[in-house]
Amino acid sequence: MKVHYECAACFLRQTREALDLATDDESLKMEVTGKVVKLVSETFRKGAVSNFIGTEVHRTIKNETGNNDPYHKEREISNDIAADFLPQVEKILGENNKLENYVKVAIAGNVIDFGALGLEMDMESLIVKTMKKDPIIDNTVELEKELEISKTVLYLADNIGEIVFDKILIEKIKEYDVDVTVALKEKPILNDACIEDALKIGLNKVAKLTSTGTDSIGIIKDDVSPEFMDLFNKSDMVIAKGLGNYEGLGEMDLEDKPVYCLLNAKCNPVARDIGVNLGDNIVLKLNT
C-alpha cells in the first residue's frame, strides 16, 4: 500500500510512543527523534510504501536506543487481554461453529494493536464491539472453497495476543484436511508476534511454525528470507492477518495465488485504500 497523507503523522506518533517505552534518557529521545524526522522527510513522498517506511522507523528506534523490544510490556498485556476473552469466544463459537464465526473471532483479535491504535486505547471494549460486527467485505465463502481444494496453507500472523485468536481459527481450518504453516517475525518489532510468542500459547501444537527471516512490519518481498519466499510460492493459499501484511502484500505480484486478508480497518488510510469505513471488518481476497 502506498502512503496516504496521514501516515507521516502516524510515524511520528509511533516514534514518540516507542521512544517512551524504549528509554528514559530525554537527550537520547531528542537525538533519535531527529534521526526519525530526517528519515521520514527523505522517504515520505507520493508512491512510497507505507510498511517499508514504518519498518525503517522502528528499526532506527531499536538500533539507536539499544532496546530490541520496546513493546515488551505491551506484548505481555496483549496476551493477558486475549486470554481473558477466551471463555466469551468459546461461548460464541459453541452457539455457531461455522467457519465465518471463527473468522470473525480472528478479526476481533486484530484490534489488539498498540502500534496502530496507540497505547491508551481500551482494547477490551474494542474487541467486544468488533466481534459483534459482520465483515463489510466478506469473501469467506470463497475462502472456504479454497480450503476445500487446497493441501497447504501459509498463515501470516500479525500481533501478539491476536495469535491466541488465530490459534482458534487455525484449529477450525485444520478440519479441511490442510497442512498449515504459521509465519512469524524473526525478532520483535512493534508488538508483532515472534516464534517464541507462538510457542508460549502452544501454536506449534496445531500448526508448523516458521520465520519470515526478518523483523519487517508485514511482508516486504526484498526483506524476507529466500526460504520464506520459497514457502510462500509453494503454498496453495495464503491467509494474512492485519494491516502490515495487507500493506505489504498489495505491493507484490501475487499472480493467481489465492491470498485472503483478514483485518479490521483500524486507520483511515487502510480503510480508504480498501474502500470501507474506519473500523470495518474485512475478509478480502486480494487478487480477484
Confidence check: pLDDT of 39 > 60:
yes
Q: How many CB atoms lie within 10 A of CB 159?
A: 29
Of 91-100, 136-145, 248-257, the poorest mean pLDDT is in 91-100
Confidence check: pLDDT of 153 > 60:
yes
Higher-confidence residue: 100 or 116?
100
Cα 266 to Cα 169: distance, rounded to the nearest angstrom = 21
On average, the pLDDT of the chain sits at 91
Which pLDDT does position 115 carry in this prediction? Answer: 46
Listed by start position, the domains of the chain span: 6-65, 72-285
Cα 189 to Cα 40: distance, rounded to the nearest angstrom = 18
Confidence check: pLDDT of 151 > 70:
yes
Instruction: Name the pLDDT band for 118 (thresholds 50, 70, 90).
Output: very low
Instruction: Name the pLDDT band for 122 (thresholds 50, 70, 90).
Output: low
Confidence check: pLDDT of 124 > 80:
no
Instruction: Name the pLDDT band for 108 (thresholds 50, 70, 90).
Output: confident
Cα 55 to Cα 52: distance, rounded to the nearest angstrom = 5
Which pLDDT does position 113 carry in this prediction? Answer: 59
Q: Which residues contact 196 (CB under 8 A, 6 or more apart)?
A: none
CATH of domain 6-65: 1.10.8
In the sheet that 137-138 helps form, which strands lie side by side, from edge to edge?
137-138, 281-285, 259-264, 237-241, 152-156, 179-184, 208-211
Query: pLDDT for 236-270, tens place per residue?
Result: 999 999 999 999 999 999 988 999 999 999 899 99
Instruction: Name the pLDDT band for 87 (thresholds 50, 70, 90).
Output: confident
Confidence check: pLDDT of 92 > 80:
no
Residue type at 84? Answer: D
72-285 topology per CATH: Rossmann fold (3.40.50)
Kindly state the average pLDDT of the residues 122-134: 70
Cα 190 to Cα 100: distance, rounded to the nearest angstrom = 29
Would the CATH topology of 6-65 be identical to that of 72-285? Answer: no
Cα 133 to Cα 19: distance, rounded to the nearest angstrom = 34
Which pLDDT does position 125 carry in this prediction? Answer: 66
Residue type at 200? Answer: K
258 close to 146: Cβ distance less than 8 angstroms: yes
Cα 75 to Cα 155: distance, rounded to the nearest angstrom = 20
Query: pLDDT for 219-232, tens place per residue?
Result: 999 999 999 999 99
Which pLDDT does position 111 carry in this prediction? Answer: 79
